[in-house]
Each structure stands twice: as structure tokens, then as C-alpha cells.
Amino acid sequence: MAALMPMRAAYGTALVELGRARPEVVALSADVQTSDYSFMFGDAYPDRYFNVGIAEQCLIDVAVGLAYEDLIPFVNTFAVFMASRALEPVLTHLSYGGANVKLMAGYSGLSPQMEGPTHHAIADLAAMRALPGMTIVSPADDVAMRALLPQVAAWPGPVYYRFCRNEVPRVFDAGYAPMIGSAHLVQAGTDVALVGVGTMLSRCMDAAEELATDGVQAAVVDLHTIKPIDTEMILRVAGEAGAMVVAEEHNVLGGAGSAVAEVLSEEGLSVPLARVGVPDRFAESGSYYAMLDKFGMGVADVVRAARKVIARKRAIRNS
């Protein structure tokens, strides 16, 4: 079992490092800075930090004004609020208006855990994917958090940066060098391809290990960029493996699984596909990993989905 690393501290630390490297970076919060650790930026650079209160639409708009004056605002609130209450300003001024604002969507998926379904973000990817010009990035662990954040700052245009609240297994080492827009092949495999987003990547890796004990060779893909999606990588690994599972902490409708399904069907690559995620319902309050297990995102669920698509692949080939 990989070491569990706190994502919030990783975020706060990475943001402070970014602020040191780039003086044009400013940060804003809708008064959740002690939750998402953006307070670390405020402590380091008080004159570049703005708390607008519990006002998520205002949060976006103040950032828009700062962005139009050539600063790079990083706005902080929970993913669920970013993609619901703040969505209209995001649509009007980031997507349509092109404001170079970076949306720091901590508390992704079920990671707000005990706060309950009002705080869980299970529809945010669907909302953000439909916005023209929006880039969506999600780091899988603390190493990815630190590697991707400077790229988010450098990326031309708005980015939705979605990350977990909790301690997550560290899956990458210091050699990890992701590039926004290019999916990262964690391991090759010819029987099935497991595509993981965020915390679900480590669960895909655990599932691959379990499958390997049965002699199943699973490829594992780190889909850190959900939009623009890496069509080439998806087609390549799906073509090689002939079966695919996409695992994410989001409603199975409209998220990364849907994005991958769109790629496969539009490119005419007919491979069995299974989506692992929240099965179009709300979860409840509970501890994080227990809830992932309960609501369809356990390692066992990934393994089951893999076996299902492998069986379908064989059935098709034998028919």
C-alpha cells in the first residue's frame, strides 16, 4: 500500500511555490481558505490574496476583473459550488469571455465525505465539459498536484483544476512529468485498459495488481486532463487492449467515462467499455474510502468491470 499523502497541504504548498515563481498570480477565496488550505497563499502574500466572503458568483467576477488586468487569479471554493452556484459567471466570463481565471476546485467527488451529498461534487465535470474553451485537469496524487499546478498557471485560458480533499495514496515518484493535454500511460497491458481520474487512478492500479494475480495484463492510464481529452492515447490503449474501463469519482453520466465513450464511438473503435463512478444517484455522509467502496468505486468494482469487458471482448471475438 502506497503512503497516504494529504492533498490539501500539497495544494497549499504548491500554490505558495507558484506564487513565489510568478508574481502575477493572485488568489481569492469564498471564505473556505482554512478548508482548502489556500490560506497558505494568503499568509505568504497577503497583498495578493482576497477573501470575498461567502459569495461564489462574486468570487468568480472579482477574479475576472483581475484577469482582464493581466493578473492570473486562482479562485478557491468547493468543486460543487464552483460548478453550480458559480457556473453562470464561469460560463459568461471564462468560457464566453475568455477570462484567464484558474478554478481551484478542491473537495472533488465524494471527498467532502461526512459533509454529505450537498457538498459532494458529482456533476461538476459534466457542467465544465460542456463549456467551450474550458480545460479540465485533475491530479491523482500530491506529486501530480505539484507537477501540474505550474502548468495550469501557464496554460492560456481558464482551467478547472479538480482535486481531492483527503489523504490519497502517492502513486507517482519524482520522475513524473505530466503535460496538460497528454494522458500518461502508467503501465502497458494487452488484456484491458483501466483509465483512472484523480483518486480512482490509485484504485485502478490496485485493480491491475489484483487482475495480474490471475494473469490478466491491464494497462493503466492516468487521465489527468479530461478536456481536451487525449484522443490518440485512448485510441491506442483501447486498440491494444480491446477492452476499457474508465473510473472516476463523478456521476457516470457526463464525466470522463462519457468523454472516453464519445471518443471511442466517434472514432469507430468498437471495444467493450465500462464506466465506474457514481451510479446516477446521491451518496450520503460517511468516511471517504468507505463511501467509494459503498457507492460503486471500490477496487472490487474496477476489477468486476474489467472482468466484464474482457468477457464481452472474448464473446465478441468468439462469435
Partner 1 sequence: MRVSADRGEEHARPHFHSELLVRDISATAQRLRIAVLEMVFGAQSGHIGAPFSAAEIVASLYWHHLRVDPQRPDWTGRDRFLLSKGHASALLYAALAHRGFFSTDELATFRHLGSRLNGHPDRGVPGVEMAAGPLGHGLAIGCGMALALRRDVDKPGAVAASSSHATRGRVYVLLGDGELDAGLIWEGVMTAAKYRLGNLVAIVDCNGVQQTGTTAEVMPLEPLVDKWRAFGWDVQDIDGHNVGAVLAALDRADEIHARPSVIVARTTKGKGVSFMEYDHRWHGGVPNEDDYRRARAELEEGLQAWLR
- Nearer Cβ to partner 1 (69/266): 69
Shortest Cβ distance from residue 116 to partner 1 (Å)?
25
58 binds partner 1 (CB under 8 A): yes
* Sign, Cα dihedral of 166, 170, 175, 181: negative
| 261, 264, 269, 273 alpha-carbon torsion, rounded to 10° | -30
- Nearer Cβ to partner 1 (93/184): 93
Shortest Cβ distance from residue 16 to partner 1 (Å)?
19
A 10 A CB-CB count for 109 gives 35
- Residue 62's SS3 state is helix
Shortest Cβ distance from residue 175 to partner 1 (Å)?
38
Residue 174 and residue 245: Cα distance in Å, rounded?
27
- Nearer Cβ to partner 1 (75/260): 75
Quote the radius of gyration of the chain (alpha carbons, Å): 19
Q: Which of residues 68-127 bind partner 1 (CB under 8 A)?
A: 68-71, 73, 88-89, 92-93, 96-98
- Nearer Cβ to partner 1 (95/258): 95
Q: Which amino acid is at 298?
A: G
Q: Which of residues 25-54 bind partner 1 (CB under 8 A)?
A: 47, 50, 52-53
Number of residues that bind partner 1 (CB under 8 A): 26
Residue 238 and residue 233: Cα distance in Å, rounded?
8
211 binds partner 1 (CB under 8 A): no
Query: What is the contact surface with partner 1 in residues (CB under 8 A)?
Result: 47, 50, 52-53, 55, 57-58, 61-71, 73, 88-89, 92-93, 96-98
